[in-house]
A and B are shown apart, each in its own frame.
Chain A
Amino acid sequence: MNGRTLSRMARRIPVNVLLVVLSILMIYPLVIIVITAFKPNLEVLTNPTGLPQNPTFDNFVTSWVEAGFANLFANSILLTLVSMTVATFVAALASYAIVRQATRIGSGVYLLLAAGIFLPMQLALVPQFRVVRDLGLINNYAGVILLYIAGALPFGVFLMAAFMRQVPKEIVEAATIDGAGYFQLFWRIFFPLGRPAIATFWVLQGVGVWNDYLVPQLLLTDPSKRTLTTGVLYFKAQYLADWGNIMAAVLIMSLPILLLFVFAQRYFVSGLYAGAVK
């Protein structure tokens, strides 16, 4: 190791020290979830900031049983999987049609759908509630799923259409001469080629659906139909200041998302950037 490398490393030290300090500040709230979840309730009050002195799993057991996490997980997984799967097909098919229709109608439909990205849907919750109620879908998963699909479509079409536009026109022409029909072309060529966009769509909108609490809070009032988020909200209302149990519940709820984030960070980042640079 020569002097130059050493001096370069020495110059990097202040930057890294600064980054480590900032990282600790950023991650501290997340660390709080973990360490509090492992503390007995009395210790949470006497030692709220430090590592647990008598680590315990009791909070997880209590929360899992009391909040009925098995059921909450099943509900959240069902809602997320069904709405994202349907949304993926509906959005992909629409994107394909828009890309194939190089006319004013095609771009008009695209603009109409993509404009939905800008709409803050909290504003329309009351009429959305009325629509779902008039369809008789209150306390029915179908109502929530339909709202989620409609909410996810704009971003899905935006992402997938951008991707499908890059499919060379020659492929379509060649495949058509080969006898591939309109929908065959979608299923055999465009849908598989759109996979990276679909992955980004799943990671971003799937997390949004998983994390959402407002729609289930309004549309699923039946306790057995609660999702992870509304279940944990209800749990907190019951356990008020029982922070050990509450943090255990928060940790159970957040763990799947954090694991997904670790493995799919690339899609998160590219998707977030695409969403910002609409």
Chain B
Amino acid sequence: MSSTRVEDIRVLALDDPQRTRSLRERLWTGRSSTGKFWIAVSPALLLYLVFTVYPMLQVVVASFTDARGFNRPWEFVGLENFARIFSGDPVLMEAVGNTAIYAFFKIVVQTVVAFLIAVLLHRQLMLGNIYRAIFFAPMVISPVAIVFVWSFMYDPTSGTFNTILESIGLGAFAQDWLGNYDLALYSVILVDLWSGLGFNIVIFLAGLSTIPSEILEAAKVDGARGWKSLRYITLPLMIPSIGLVLVLAINGALRAFDTVYLMTRGGPGNSTQLYMTQVFQEGMVNNNFGYASAMAVLVLVVLIAIAAAQNRLNNRIAAEEGNR
């Protein structure tokens, strides 16, 4: 169909309000298109229901049962699994504590560092793309690759950290970074701070680009430069982005899995066990599927609450972007 013809017919159709309205109704809300709607969404819905919704519902059901392994029938035990969680399962408590420490570092260190790097990167024209590529690259690499590199760097005998410490005369501080009970969690956290930093920089750069340059120029005229401009102009305007990064940090801490699973398996002891890895441990390794499901349901409730909070934040960001 040629474009001129489409235009002609459109004008004709729009000229007659009666016809246009009935066409609009038929096209967008009419009954005749409902059948086709179901045909078009059915492949997606079917796959999603079978492989995502149904397994998730099974998790919810299993959380009220004594499900173990793959084949034995389940029996309802009411709230027993939840009672066990809240009565203070010691390993789970350790995992919750570790997850809190993990979240603290994600929230504080990653937010501050990413914010400062984003401010430095913003409006860097000459080398900006190279810098950005470097900061974003760890995001795209497989967790398998990330974990192997860091395991190598943490190696107690030939690892990068200990070699560097020895070469600058601080050999006394050389550590078994992943084997030390008190240190392993922080070694794991460092890996995830490194790989997650770029994502926060992306969000902050997007937030910075919405600040109109007139505001900053007006502030400059009034004498606000450097730190002052950052503190009194940029920071307040970035609060929605900062809120989003904080929400994502908590979300990320509750979902954190790959690094611990591949690098330490929660050890030594349970010193690096996180909430999600403990769920996996109970469900897949210890075969306590019912109990693991109850843990999963709890974190799901928290994640949904966080998603709701995030949604409100996003609406605020959208509203503010719309106002500008």
**Is the contact region of chain A dominated by helix, strand, or loop, or is it mixed?**
helix
Determine whether B270 belongs to the interface, using a CB cutoff of 8 Å to chain A.
no
Q: Tell me which of B135, B140, B150, B317 contacts A26 (CB under 8 A).
A: B135
A174 touches B140 (CB 8 A): no
User: A-B contact count, CB below 8 Å?
Assistant: 296
Number of chain B residues close to chain A: CB under 8 A: 102
Q: Which residues of A112-131 have CB atoms within 8 Å of chain B's CB atoms?
A: 112-113, 116, 118-131
Q: Which residues of B303-324 have CB atoms within 8 Å of chain A's CB atoms?
A: 303-304, 307, 310-311, 314, 317-318
In the assembled complex, which residues on chain A have CB atoms less than 8 Å from the CB atom of B257? 122
How close is A17's CB to chain B, nearest CB, in angstroms? Answer: 11
In the assembled complex, which residues on chain A have CB atoms less than 8 Å from the CB atom of B27? 100, 169, 172-173, 176
Determine whether B266 belongs to the interface, using a CB cutoff of 8 Å to chain A.
no
Q: Which residues of A252-267 have CB atoms within 8 Å of chain B's CB atoms?
A: 253-254, 257-258, 260-262, 265
B149 touches A276 (CB 8 A): no
Q: Tell me which of B121, B141, B317 contacts A254 (CB under 8 A).
A: B141
Q: Tell me which of A33, A122, A258 contacts B276 (CB under 8 A).
A: A122
Nearest chain B residue, comparing its CB with the CB of A276: B203
Number of chain A residues close to chain B: CB under 8 A: 100
Nearest chain A residue, comparing its CB with the CB of B39: A97
B206 touches A101 (CB 8 A): no
Q: Tell me which of B47, B135, B244 contacts A146 (CB under 8 A).
A: B47
Q: Tell me which of B10, B129, B311 contacts A170 (CB under 8 A).
A: B10
B54 touches A232 (CB 8 A): no
27 contacts between A and B (CB under 8 A): A15-B120, A19-B120, A26-B135, A26-B194, A29-B150, A30-B149, A32-B149, A33-B145, A102-B28, A122-B279, A123-B279, A123-B300, A124-B296, A130-B55, A131-B51, A131-B54, A150-B47, A150-B51, A207-B140, A211-B144, A250-B145, A253-B145, A258-B141, A261-B137, A269-B202, A273-B203, A276-B203
User: Given A48-B155, A123-B296, list of 6 further CB < 8 A pairs?
Assistant: A15-B120, A97-B37, A112-B53, A228-B142, A269-B132, A278-B307
Across the A-B interface, the 8 shortest Cβ-Cβ residue pairs? A97-B40, A150-B51, A127-B55, A94-B44, A211-B142, A127-B58, A124-B55, A123-B296
